[in-house]
Amino acid sequence: MTIQSSPGSSSYLPGSSGYLGMFPERRMSYFSNSYVIGLTVAAGIGGLLFGYDTGVISGALLYIKDEFEEVNQSSFLQETIVSMALVGAIIGAAAGGWINDAYGRKKATLLADVVFAAGAVVMAAAPDPYVLILGRLFVGLGVGIASVTAPVYIAEASPSEVRGGLVSTNVLMITGGQFLSYLVNLAFTEVPGTWRWMLGVAGVPAVVQFCIMLCLPESPRWLFMKNDKAKAIVILSKIYDIARLEDEIENLSVAEEEERQKKNDVRISDVFKSKEMRLAFLAGAGLQAFQQFTGINTVMYYSPTIVQMAGFSSNRLALLLSLIIAALNAAGTVLGIYFIDHFGRKKLALSSLTGVIASLVILAGAFFGRSSGSSNELFGWIAILGLALYIAFFSPGMGPVPWTVNSEIYPEQYRGICGGMSATVNWVSNLIVAQTFLSVAEAVGTGWTFVILAGIAVLAVVFVTVFVPETMGLTFVEVEQIWKERAWGSSYNNESLLERGNDS
């Protein structure tokens, strides 16, 4: 039996990209729709909050120790002030998936803004370290919810051919927030109440995003799946032309019909009962874990310390070099926005990891050279070169790829809860790395610590090669087909098409 496929047909084969397969000249470019760009930038302010908070505390802590003697005398309190935001982010990410599925992406964003702004006010007004720690917890909760919500909101409002670049814009906002935090740290060094301004000013973008989001729509995919089709189609009509709109509605109808045949209420245990979902979650969560365990936030949190370890004792020089590293991180993410929709997620991740491995080997060699007793300044500059190369290779690839892939590999019914679970994996991994780097470096030496990170990056290459599919340019329906074929074999798609053909 021969099955005829049309651009709007639900039997359109994965990889053909439906309407785009028939009319490739009508593919959208990154800047072709100002409405989509506006939604992306507004949602991406959540990424700015994420990045700013991870970067600002390193400078603020210096002045917090000056004001509170008990903090200066207690390493435990210092670690708690830093890590409590990560604890909050873990909780926020875990709860954020459920909030997204139950109440929508827009309400989740608004909640994140309220919690984050409240945390910023509490931190700025903290009379003692313990209230400050409470404020850090609130800020972390907001960051955790935002880290789940922003990529999903952007992905669901994005045409498939530019989805990677648009989701990567959120990562650009993260790295831009980190760079901004370094600038703010420098700007407020001579201002009375230094650390209070550093931490309190974080509430401003949260308030701005809250006001903007009140005027923006809910995710069209979420509305469609919640049976509010009229509103969803109005939003989609602002994103696609008429012919493309019909194709997108058809894809959504197919996805809705599949979801209707499943249970409405998804629990965490359901993710592990389905073979397709286990494979999807393994790929998504694995990417998030490897993003952290290959050392990125070690570099971002401890770059001044690493620079000093390399022999540059001046605090000012260390901070300036760290600022350059943060700028490289943001610039690399801009490249990633272009590469991710032109070279693909998988190729970009593999090339990024290859460069990361080489950079970590250079870093290890520099520190081995210094530990041998040599006073040659060349090893210090080699370490700086290794740090710069690490960021240059990491930021265009392993920076945006995990967030992009996690925003597009899960079915609608599971997207919130799986996105939340994988973001939780990211934050837990982040916490582990941040809390152990200096201890491991003390125990085995900085050189061997970078060798360990390079070994983990090699494992990451194997993982990406085996478990992560290429999703560039595919619709959400086509991505679902990938997992079904991986779970049940390539015959699954042909059997599914025959069944649909017979039904018609």
How far is it, in rounded angstroms, from Cα 496 to Cα 308? 60
Return the pLDDT at 503.
Answer: 46
Write down the pTM of the prediction.
Answer: 0.76
Return the pLDDT at 208.
Answer: 94
Return the pLDDT at 417.
Answer: 87
Compute φ and ψ for 446, nearest 5 degrees: -65, -40
Per-residue pLDDT of the chain (504 residues), as tens digits, is: 333 333 333 333 334 445 455 545 456 676 778 899 999 999 999 889 888 887 788 778 878 888 888 888 877 787 788 888 889 999 999 899 889 988 999 999 999 999 999 999 999 999 999 999 999 999 999 999 998 899 899 988 888 888 888 888 888 898 889 888 888 877 777 777 788 988 999 899 999 999 999 999 999 988 988 888 899 999 999 988 887 888 888 888 887 777 666 655 677 788 888 889 999 999 999 999 999 999 887 776 666 666 666 666 665 666 677 678 778 888 998 899 889 988 899 999 999 999 999 999 998 998 888 776 666 677 778 888 888 899 999 999 999 999 999 989 998 788 888 988 998 999 899 888 877 777 787 788 888 989 999 999 999 999 999 999 999 888 888 888 899 898 887 655 555 544 444 444
Return the pLDDT at 304.
Answer: 64
Lookup result for tokens 């089709």: 229
**Type of residue numbered 349:** A
Return the pLDDT at 17.
Answer: 46
Q: What is the DSSP string of 55-109?
A: HHHHHHHHHHHHH-HHHHH-HHHHHHHHHHHHHHHHHHHHHHHHHHHHH-HHHHH
How far is it, in rounded angstroms, from Cα 410 to Cα 479? 8
Residue 310 CA to its chain's centroid (Å): 30
For residue 181, which of 196, 198, 195 has the smallest C-alpha distance?
198
How far is it, in rounded angstroms, from Cα 342 to Cα 325? 26
Cβ atoms of 164 and 112 within 8 Å: the answer is no
Q: How far is CA 485 from CA 275, 482, 495, in A?
A: 11, 5, 11
Return the pLDDT at 305.
Answer: 61
How far is it, in rounded angstroms, from Cα 224 to Cα 314? 57
How far is it, in rounded angstroms, from Cα 34 to Cα 40? 10
Residue 387 burial by Cβ neighbours in a 10 Å radius (0-12, 13-18, 19+): buried
Lookup result for tokens 């359109």: 12
Helix (H, G, I), strand (E, B) or coil at 451: helix
Return the pLDDT at 274.
Answer: 86
